[in-house]
Amino acid sequence: MIPFYRKLLISAALTLLPLTGVQAQSTDASSLWAQCEADELARDIMPVTPNLPPVDDLPIQAEADRAESSPSQSILEGNVSLTRGDQRLRADRISLDRTANRAAAENGFTYSDPKQALRGQQAEVDLNAETGWFQDADYYLPQRNAQGSAKEAQVDRTKQQSRLKNASYSTCARGKEMWKLRADEINLNEAEGRGVAHNIVLEFKDTPVFYFPYLSFPITDARQSGFLFPRQGYGSQTGFDLTVPYYWNIAPDQDMTIAPRLMTERGVLLGMEYRYLSPNQRGQIGVEYIPDDRRYEGARGSFNLADRAAPLPNFYTDLHYEYVSDDNYIKDLSNNLEFLTPNYLERHLDARYYGEGWQALARVQGFQILNTALFTLTGNPYERLPQLLFSGAWPSGSGGLSYQLYGELVNFQQSDAVTGVRLDLWPTVGWTLEQPWGYLKPEAGFRYTSDQLENTAPGANNTPSRSMPVLSLDSGLIFDRPLQADWLGLTAGTQTLEPRLFYLYVPYRNQNDLPIFDSSVMDRDIDWLFRKNRFTGADRMGDANQLTTALTSRLIDGPSGRERLRASVGQIQYFEDRRVNLSPIEPPQTADNSGLIAQGLVNLSSRWSMQGGVQMEPNRGSIQRSAFDLRYYVDSRQLVNVSYLLDRDPQGLSSQGDQIHSVDVSLAWPLATQWRVMARWNQAINISRNLETLAGLEYEDCCWAVRAVARQYRDSPLEVDAQTGFYLELELKGLSRLGSSLENQLQSSILGYRPIRY
């Protein structure tokens, strides 16, 4: 928290997930405070002087309208300025003890150095010891845009210590404080980077709202152990909810946050997050445990581990493990709104090596399924124990030939299902002729796949295999011309016309003996027209004797080279029926063509953009799939998103219940300089069911912000009953946030949303 309760990151390379308590803020003055109203003491801050000699070697410089001086004392009057190094004292009258170099000012003074400025009634400054005593002082801290007052202030620059009595603190403009801290005593130790405050009261519009008898807090960018700002809240499922995080700075490359959480309706939960960082490794470990959740009637907990490392040159590892004790744990107890409704948790360990033109991957992967209804049709995903992948591409050598090799060996495991080891090899050789006017790319490959199966049905083939050639010819022409008219505001640019032909031949092979481990029907778009397999994974290789014809046109802005428009249309013409399907009971596909597929993107201006696509049904004129997106974006304060999707047969399914027909509208719009409204409406039209309705209002200025959001939502279109939620967040900039963390929720609901930063 800034400056009293800031939690600092172990490194910019590590991203800390939000704490269960109030979240910390950044102290980057250039971004957070750049547009704040300048404090009246800001002009008195002394500039930083690099390589400043010791104070004993620095002269005392004095300016005044009048002066009386003796060997032991000087009296300076009228616009007095007394300077030594980077510390300065100004007043109408200053008396200087010349033997001890002690200065005193009464009836008004201003003292400043690069880190602070003080103004008050009475001051005594020891220019040798670099200490000062100030009475009835106002102060300003430029690094945190903080200001306040103190009945008495003592400063020791040599020890880097300060003491404030009867003090206040705020990052709001002086005299316009929306919030303020008051404390009987504040002790600041910059050498240790710690501060201690006693009897603190947080005021909002001069009204006390929180009291803390004692707080220890960091005051510099150095990470320091101490309690973070507590979080209080209330929920119908949790009751009164209080979290008091403690930050432990273990070492320069390690830290830990311990967060006990009291919920009156559930019990006490203990959370812990440990992080570490080294030149070649970084990671974090998180644990939560509640021994007796009274609503759940039992113990619950979670564990997560993330680790990335580069132990050797070109060799990288990635470990990720997530676990929760039950399917509803995250929904019931997590404070991170971004992950309220996961369907599954993934665990994997990857080891990847990059060579010259090739790479290899070794992986083990598993899942914890939280939403079993999602996998009722497909079955739970298979675990890969392990998976070995190799891919390589070698550029053209003699004769202009290029070579590629893809290989995979994976052991699929799942309870109560066919398991086994699958080997997939796919070498290819190609030749390329590429000119400014077009290209020609013939390619020949051979794909071999075999399985070693277990738990098969009686009499089934335990060692099925499949092999086939894969032949393709890709070709295209590129025509261009200068723009002849003013299109989309372009007066100088280029229009292209790019016809393309792609022929693919893959002979039919009976693949019904091969189980479906990880294959599915590939989603269709303009790129799908040029893929060599209509299925994902290696369990199915689609037979093909087909020709794709496509046409693309672009408008390119001449001065910037930016693509302002791209429109593509294409279709596959089939010369044979497609007999390979995911299930052996599915009939062959007999359509003569794929149906037209069209896609377009238009950048209407710097603020308006539009993209969309249409897919026609094979051999018919009706629409099978259409999508449309319109976006207006000025900045994160002012944006509108409109999306429409119709998919009559998603993922190759034909049941009407699987149809997708939805509209999604979201916006963030300023009502005034500091006011902004946020909203979203996401409706499943085919089942007349609202997926999410969100309405929010936000006020934000330099030193504080408040956000209120009401939300009605369903975790899945299959849910009949909608859930409702109301979230309120108060952000005191330079101190903390109180209430729900809404950034993740708003960013996931409204494309382009960002908090306003003054």
Average pLDDT over residues 413-435: 94
Among 278-287, 332-341, 493-502, the range scoring the smallest mean pLDDT is: 332-341
More confident residue, 274 or 239: 274
Q: How far is CA 350 from CA 243, 312, 564, in A?
A: 35, 14, 40
More confident residue, 264 or 732: 264
Residues 6+ apart with CB under 8 A from 224: 8, 192, 193, 194, 217, 218, 247, 249
Among 93-102, 235-244, 415-424, 532-541, the range scoring the smallest mean pLDDT is: 235-244
Q: Would you say residue 653 has pLDDT above 50?
A: no
Q: Please tell me the predicted confidence (pLDDT) of residue 396.
A: 75
Q: Please tell me the predicted confidence (pLDDT) of residue 221.
A: 57
Q: Which two tokens stand for residue 446?
A: 């051979």
d(CA 633, CA 609): 8
d(CA 124, CA 280): 52
d(CA 542, CA 506): 7
Q: Which residue has the tokens 């990671």?
A: 283
**pLDDT for 186-204, tens place per residue?**
888 877 767 788 999 989 8
| 3-state SS, one letter per residue, for 393-413 | EECCCHHHEEEEEEEEEEEEE
Q: How confident is the model at residue 336 (pLDDT cuts 50, 70, 90)?
A: very low
**pLDDT for 70-110, tens place per residue?**
888 999 999 999 998 888 999 999 999 988 889 999 889 99
More confident residue, 604 or 472: 472
d(CA 330, CA 341): 7
Q: Would you say residue 24 has pLDDT above 50?
A: no
Q: Would you say residue 580 has pLDDT above 90?
A: yes
Torsion angle in degrees (nearest 10) through CA of 50, 3, 119, 207: 170
Q: Please tell me the predicted confidence (pLDDT) of residue 9.
A: 23
**pLDDT for 274-324, tens place per residue?**
999 999 999 999 999 999 999 999 999 999 999 999 999 999 999 999 999
d(CA 596, CA 72): 98
d(CA 322, CA 259): 19
**pLDDT for 132-170, tens place per residue?**
999 999 999 887 788 999 999 999 988 888 899 999 988
Task: Kindly state the DSSP code that residue 569 receives in the 8-state scheme.
Answer: E
Q: How confident is the model at residue 233 (pLDDT cuts 50, 70, 90)?
A: low
Q: Would you say residue 339 has pLDDT above 70?
A: no
Q: Please tell me the predicted confidence (pLDDT) of residue 235.
A: 65
Q: Which two tokens stand for residue 92?
A: 């109408």
Average pLDDT over residues 724-739: 74
Give me the sign of the Cα torsion angle 443, 441, 595, 518. positive
Q: For residue 156, what are the β-bridge partners? A: 131, 161
Average pLDDT over residues 425-434: 95
For residue 81, the surrounding DSSP H or E stretch is strand 73-84
Average pLDDT over residues 115-126: 92
Q: Please tell me the predicted confidence (pLDDT) of residue 240.
A: 82
d(CA 145, CA 150): 17
Cis omega (within 30 of 0) on the bond before 59?
no
Residue type, 425: L
Q: Please tell me the predicted confidence (pLDDT) of residue 4.
A: 27
Q: Which two tokens stand for residue 745?
A: 């929720």
Residues 6+ apart with CB under 8 A from 337: 727, 740, 741, 742, 744, 745, 748
Q: Please tell me the predicted confidence (pLDDT) of residue 558.
A: 77
**pLDDT for 518-572, tens place per residue?**
999 998 899 999 999 999 999 999 999 999 999 999 998 877 778 889 999 999 9
164 in Cβ contact with 150 (< 8 Å): yes
**pLDDT for 392-403, tens place per residue?**
998 877 678 999
Q: Would you say residue 8 has pLDDT above 90?
A: no
d(CA 539, CA 511): 8
For residue 32, the surrounding DSSP H or E stretch is helix 29-32
Residues 6+ apart with CB under 8 A from 19: 7, 228, 231, 243, 245, 257, 259, 273
Calculate the average pLDDT of the chain. Answer: 85
More confident residue, 334 or 506: 506
Q: For residue 234, what are the β-bridge partners? A: 240
Q: Please tell me the predicted confidence (pLDDT) of residue 728.
A: 79
**CATH class label, 29-220:** mainly beta
Average pLDDT over residues 416-445: 95
Q: How confident is the model at residue 657 (pLDDT cuts 50, 70, 90)?
A: very low
Q: Would you say residue 718 has pLDDT above 80?
A: no
pTM for the complete prediction? 0.76
Q: How confident is the model at residue 758 (pLDDT cuts 50, 70, 90)?
A: low
Q: How confident is the model at residue 112 (pLDDT cuts 50, 70, 90)?
A: very high
Q: How confident is the model at residue 34 (pLDDT cuts 50, 70, 90)?
A: low
Residue type, 190: E
Residue spans per domain, the chain: 29-220, 452-621, 658-758
Q: Please tell me the predicted confidence (pLDDT) of residue 137.
A: 94
More confident residue, 86 or 743: 86
Pairing of strands 608-616, 194-204: unpaired
Q: How confident is the model at residue 29 (pLDDT cuts 50, 70, 90)?
A: very low
CB atoms within 10 A of CB 632: 18
Q: Would you say residue 3 has pLDDT above 50?
A: no
